[in-house]
Amino acid sequence: MSEKGWSQLWLDYASKAGKDSVNGIRMGNVNVDIKDFDVDNRVIESAVKELNRAFCGDNDKVKVTLVRNKEVAKEGYRIGNIIGGSNENVAKSDAPEYVIEASDENGALYGVFHLIREKLMGKEYPNICADCAPSNPLRMMNHWDNMDGSIERGYSGRSFFFVGDEIVVNERTVDYARFMASVGINGVVINNVNVKWAATDLITTRFFDKVKELSDIFGDYGIKLYLSLNFASPIELGGLPICDPLDKDVINWWKDKIKEVYDHLPDLGGFLVKADSEGRPGPFTYGRTQADGANMLGDIIAQYGGIIIWRCFVYNCTQDWRDTKTDRARAGYDYFKGLDGEYHDNVILQIKNGPMDFQIREPISPLLGGLTKTNQMLEVQIAQEYTGHQIDVCYLIPMFKEILGFKTYCRDDLDTVADVISGRTMGNKYAGMAAVINTGNDYNWTGNDLAAANLYGFGRLAFNTELSSEEIAREWVRLTFDLEQDLEDKLVDMLLRSREIYEKYTSPLGIGWMVTPSDHYGPSVDGYEYSRWGTYHRADHLGLGVDRTDKGTGYAQQYYSPNAEMYNDPKTCPENLLLFFHHIPYTWKLASGQSLIQYIYDSHFEGCAEAEELAETWKEFEGKVSDRTYACVSERFGRQVYNAREWRDQVNSYFYRKSGISDEKGRTIY
Ligand code: GCW
């Protein structure tokens, strides 16, 4: 148990390198030398501090030299015995000597964390060497923290940035910055994209000093602070009658405001904006385009070196679903594709991974790569809004790997989502990945200790999209716990299976939702909050699924060929997305030979049994992880199993009653 009152997550040096450690990690005592970097630079200072923190044993001397080498990629690093690109050996001394080369301070800091990570995982000199460059220029966390301390879609307690409309800066903030830097995060948006109350708007005098303190702490760890912006600020803060992005008074108001903000927060990275969606105002209110709104802000912020991250989660939540051509999934592409090429250089479009909303299985948003002349970044959600609220275990890195590996066919090569959002495909300066974060002020930061695998994993993956889900899971397990090999393997396996298990007992084959409206935990088959005119999944006595083909909503046509054709035909559509794209009869035969209805029954029985099995396996960890972790995770498994049973029973009963077809295996379904 950490004395601090919060967990040290994967940087728990004391317990990993402690005497009682199963793996007996010896970190040693470090002597740091700095060449060509400014020793007083704040990031270099943090790097040195971190080395001293990690290598604090009194045995085994270790030497670390930080060297500037202009040839190393931006924010990248090399570790080994190669200085300045030559093969010159580091002077041999009694102590192992690690040389970390980087062209900038962030690279040096990441190199230090790499070295610490490898040491904590039990690697020894001279086997620790590296040559790493980040896959993505922007690697960001988006907090949906509100000023009153609540967190929208937060499942880990309250905000550690805000309490009672005030900003909190303390030692926990520093630890947060360390954790983020240790996995390569270089940007953090501290407040919710739904910015609602003028009295607590962060771009006002009342908050500048405290935001500056936060920004300075982040800056020490190479992280830029960003703010979510209220597009209606000219009205709500400025007292203007409108917030039309083309209105002169509105533009002048923003010019003054942004100048004021940068006078106080010179290091601010920029703004994240949610406009025209779910009750938020935006350019559409004035008949303007999304580009009009984003560019207006982009042009003003450009002189300060800031960027505008404009979210593409724009849709009309009051759409009438009875019209079978109306389709929320189409909205992003319909609103943004036509404006491709019109966004200015310091504007980035942030696109959710799927066209709907962070469901357990969705196709990749056709906007990713659909846009070919626009800066774009991928938004995923590690806050488990639709994936179990950090009660159910759901390791999401396998999902993110699928997204990154998707071939968009936007051109002949370099056309995967990973290529597009890294900037490789189109040569964008601004590109990357953002996650809606899963943290709060709980002792363990993430509600369920096992959900920290997603926090760690997102950062590692954004830094290196080539890492596999298993490598990341294993790193996290090894750094966080101190387990014998067989238990380490078991935990890695549990994580790797968890997403499919969750998918099996919840909504089948890409149809999505079926969750309790608003809360989004637990089953409610008809419960899509915006389907007040009927069910969104369109189940009747013959079948279910949404026809998004050229004969239906036409959504499948938003993809490039051959993806468009693949999705359009139920025979070539990947089965795990069958119901997203097609209305399918219950008697339809899947590749396995099972009928669709039988698949629904089987997968729900199986998923639930597998959740029970995970809970059972966890019992083997008693006494092998801390008592606090064991108790926390056990309690959550109890709730997961209950949840899985509810899902199984409600979904199976629903479709049994709708279809009138019994389970071939004769299991009881009421
Ligand atoms: O669907 C929604 C979530 C909202 C969230 C929104 C968004 C911040 O349920 O809570 O609002 O996505 O991404 O903007």
How does pLDDT run across 169-187, given as a tens digit for each residue?
999 999 999 999 999 999 9
- The pLDDT, as a whole number, for residue 531 is 67
Q: How far is the CA of 53 from the centre of ligand 1 (A)?
A: 39
Identify whether 385 is a catalytic site residue. yes
The CATH number of the domain holding residue 232 is: 3.20.20.80
Contacts of 564 (CB under 8 A, 6+ apart): 556, 557, 558
Structure tokens at 640: 């997961």
Kindly state whether residue 564 falls inside one of the protein's structural domains: no
Q: Which atom of ligand 1 is nearest to the CA of 274?
A: 14
3-class SS string, 404-447: HHCECCCCCCCCEHHHHHHCCCCCCCCCEEEEECCCCCCCCCCC
Of residues 292, 362, 385, 482, which has the active-site annotation?
385
Statement to judge: residues 428 and 527 lie in one domain: no
Query: Is residue 341 domain-resident?
Result: yes
Whether 280 is in the pocket of ligand 1, judged by its Cβ within 6 Å, is no
Ligand 1 pocket residue status of 576, Cβ below 6 Å:
no
Is the minimum distance from the CB of 21 to ligand 1 under 6 angstroms? no
Q: Is residue 250 part of a domain?
A: yes
Best of 357, 379, 386, 389 to mutate for ligand 1, by most ligand atoms within 8 A of CB? 357
Quick one: CA dihedral 201, 206, 208, 209, positive or negative?
negative
Q: Do 198 and 120 belong to one domain?
A: no
* Cβ neighbourhood burial of 622 (10 Å; 0-12, 13-18, 19+): exposed
Q: What is the pLDDT of residue 176?
A: 98
Domain boundary among 132, 149, 170: 132
**What is the band of 94 on the pLDDT scale with cuts at 50, 70, 90?**
low
Cis peptide before 562 (omega within 30 of 0): yes
| Ligand 1 binding pocket includes 313 (Cβ within 6 Å) | yes
With respect to residue 494, please indicate whether it lies within any of the assigned structural domains.
no
Mean pLDDT of 198-213: 95
Residue 116: give the domain boundaries: 9-132
Q: Is residue 668, in this structure, part of any structural domain at all?
A: no
Over the range 358-393, which residues count as b (16 or more CB within 10 Å of their CB) and which as e? bbbbbbbbbbbbbbeebbbbbbbbbbbbbbbbbbbb
Quickly list H helices, 432-584. Answer: 452-463, 469-480, 485-505, 563-568, 578-581
- The atom number, within ligand 1, closest to the CA of 192 reads 8
Is 95 a residue whose pLDDT tops 80? no
> Which residue among 71, 278, 323, 635 is the active-site one?
278
The answer as to whether 636 is a domain residue is yes
**193 CB near ligand 1 (under 6 Å):** yes
Predicted local distance difference test score (pLDDT) of residue 87: 39
Specify the pLDDT at position 554.
Answer: 97
Q: What is the pLDDT of residues 523-560, one digit of tens each?
A: 999 988 776 667 889 999 999 999 999 999 999 999 99
Are 271 and 415 found together in one domain?
A: yes
379 Cα nearest atom in ligand 1: 13
Q: Which of the four pLDDT bands, split at 50, 70 and 90, describes residue 85?
A: very low
**181 Ramachandran zone, left/alpha/beta (phi>0; psi -120 to 50):** alpha
Phi-psi domain of 666 (left: phi exceeds 0; alpha: psi -120 through 50; beta: other): left
Domain count, the chain: 3
Question: What are the tens digits of pLDDT across the range 469-493?
Answer: 999 999 999 999 999 999 999 999 9
**Mean pLDDT of the chain, nearest integer:** 94
Q: Are residues 439 and 371 in the same domain?
A: yes
Alpha carbons within 13 angstroms on the beta-carbon side of residue 158 total: 11
| 107 inside domain | yes
**Cα angle vertex 465, ends 461, 471, to 5°?**
60
Same domain as 261, residue 227: yes
Q: Ligand 1 pocket, 315 CB below 6 A?
A: no
Q: For residue 91, report the distance from its CA to the centre of ligand 1, in Å.
A: 55
Q: Which residues pair with 323 in a beta bridge?
A: none
Centre of ligand 1 from the C-alpha of residue 437, in Å = 13
Q: What percent of the chain has pLDDT over 70?
A: 97
Q: Is residue 121 located within the same domain as residue 214?
A: no
Label residue 280 by pLDDT band (50, 70, 90): confident
Q: Where is the domain boundary, 117, 132, 147?
A: 132
Helix and strand counts by DSSP (H, E) for the chain: 18, 17
Residue 166 and residue 249 in one domain: yes
283 and 147 in a single domain? The answer is yes
Q: What is the CATH classification number for the domain harbouring 40?
A: 3.30.379.10
Domain endpoint, select from 132, 167, 201: 132
Say if ligand 1 is within 6 A of residue 272 CB. no
Residue 562 maps to a domain: no
Residue 62 shares a structural domain with residue 121:
yes
Please tell me the distance between residue 89's alpha carbon and the centre of ligand 1 in angstroms.
54
